[in-house]
Amino acid sequence: MIVLGVLFYAFLWVLAANGVTSLVAPLVIPVVLAVLVAGGVALNRFMGITPRRPHFDDGDADDGDADDETDR
């Protein structure tokens, strides 16, 4: 499915290169976002900042109320 999406994206770039200039702005947005994210990750690694470990709720029998006195 990802390969199909990449092929469709490449097809849209081919259309944009052949004169459908209205497609250029929406097609540039994912590229710019990817460059910004990659730049941020590279900057974090350059500065020596390690990624935070994700903390997931283990799904106890608690209903998630913050008002409950037993949670404190």
> pLDDT tens, 2-58?
999 999 999 999 999 999 999 999 999 999 999 999 999 999 999 998 878 888 877
Spatial neighbors of 5 by CB under 8 A, at least 6 apart, are: none
Give the burial class of 12: count Cβ atoms within 10 A of its Cβ; 0-12 exposed, 13-18 middle, 19 or more buried: middle
pTM: 0.60
Tell me the CB-side half-sphere exposure of residue 47, using CA atoms within 13 A: 9
* Helix/strand/coil for 12: helix
